[in-house]
Structure 1
């Protein structure tokens, strides 16, 4: 970018050419496999993440290698986030790109959430941007909640969690919500499968935004999370935003956006 601006200053290129070159510089092309949006964080508030399931393993390796090419720990670059990465694939990645560990990069893998964050430096202790509550109906929903938690913490926010407090034992829910409100959460993410009733109950009790995450937990007509999704979309409680099935990542980014809009 400095070279482009210098050429413009020296009159070698026009302002239109300068603008086009800067835009092009914001995208890294990885051997025609991936176009990585390096500037997404400054533009949208959260960096681009790599969605693993639909990618060939060799492409994942190539993306990681190219992203960290010519980079060193503590450089001013974003951590690399890889979502929905199975434990089997993660273990294989460690053997193939584990040399990055030797160079000083940190591999932070959450097995339950199936998220890998390759960090360029240790997290600095700082005051959180805000607090976000995460609630699950059952233990089967925790993997999606943990996905949201990793993303929230990666953004510099604090995640306060309460798991397995669904409508099947609704007495468990009220003290947990009260505790989160006392701690000053600004947004609640509520994950539920089966009939997907929990977000409606929560939204009827609080005056802060509720983000509903349908999970694929269920059987029979509820299999795959479609019933939970439709129930949340049809909720009679106002103030609910609904993301796609098992989209803990999307729920977290939306919650972070709300927090940052208040800062």
Structure 2
């Protein structure tokens, strides 16, 4: 009897280990955000920054900008910074925000709420996501040219090339995590040696570290995945039948809250990770 009991117990434990993560919806804003592409939490300031593209993901029209919400989804200022074109990914370092804005890297002085510099990225076509490492080196992806550019010591240079399906970036220590390679989460070291961490059913948009080697991985079509350090993945959220996009997510690692910009639905949603 004892021998036969252990087998289903083992299988039950294995199933539980695979099903331990889920998300629960906390809130959703009104439909007042015109094409939100990315959410960047600043937990110390109690602010969610949202990149607002305006009428298009590509237009050079100066009607895009960065908005501010509080941590509960209430609008603080949807015109916090104006005059951008179609801004997407954002990163913060040393009081400055770096924003991918079609073919420029826009630099915002956060205290002044003002664009203080526009850095053209030579040969770029569709700058998409931005990340900054602890040293202040800024990386920006170009989804159309399949290149990652790097802003270092006041100069823009091409850092990596020929990455299919390139979108999300996240610097973690000396490593650069990349949504690319088709439908994969990739990892590049300081020598640009790149390995595949995980293969996913859908191409990636935003990637956010959980803090234990695991990641959240969003797909623009309406999917949110939990990716384990060993390459396994679980589907946490599927909104594609509702035609709700899941673009470049933000994440609060302390409260374990995922912030989702819904693109065409003109809202931001928040989910508790469990």
Per the TM superposition, whether the score is higher than 0.5 is: no
**If you compute each CA radius of gyration, which structure gives the higher value, 1 or 2?**
1
Higher share in strand: 2
Larger helix share, 1 or 2: 1
Normalised by the length of structure 1, the TM-score is 0.30
Q: Higher relative CO (CA 8 A, sep ≥ 6), structure 1 or 2?
A: 2
Q: TM-score, normalised by structure 2?
A: 0.29
